[in-house]
Structure 1
Amino acid sequence: MTSPPEKITIKCPDCGHVYEDWWRPSINLMIDDFDEAYITDATSSVCPVCGFRVQHGGLVVGKDGVFNVEGN
């Protein structure tokens, strides 16, 4: 099962700006048909001040049933 989106607070490791965003701790592509862009958005955040992408990680189960850890 794909986990529901969760709100998170992030402190950018590059510029120190604190901002709110969301992520999905797990995504199951055997059930949901998300594209790569959505998976990137669901497992990372982009600082609105400096543009630094913070990787949150996340468990993605591929359409073939293989478990992958994204964003690490």
Structure 2
Amino acid sequence: MCTVDGTHLMLPDEDKIKRVYPKPKAGPNGESGYPDARVVALVACGTRHLIGAVFGTTSIGETTWALGLLGH
């Protein structure tokens, strides 16, 4: 049996990173914090082994990123 779970990682606040991973929105007029990346992992429930993982921008939801784990 396996499970899929996702999380966010804060990345360094550098221009080259912000081009790919934008900062989260803070209300209608701004952004806050650090750039964010989403990580979605496929894990074996019994052994807790990491079977596979995908990552990318937070503008795409966990369920969409999880489709990249189907081959595992």
Q: Tell me if both proteins adopt one fold, taking TM over 0.5 as the criterion.
A: no
Structure of higher RCO (CA pairs closer than 8 Å, 6+ residues apart): 2
Structure number with higher helix proportion: 2
Structure number with higher strand proportion: 1
Provide the TM-score with structure 1 as the length reference. Answer: 0.29
Provide the TM-score with structure 2 as the length reference. Answer: 0.29
Indicate the structure (1 or 2) with the bigger Cα radius of gyration. Answer: 2
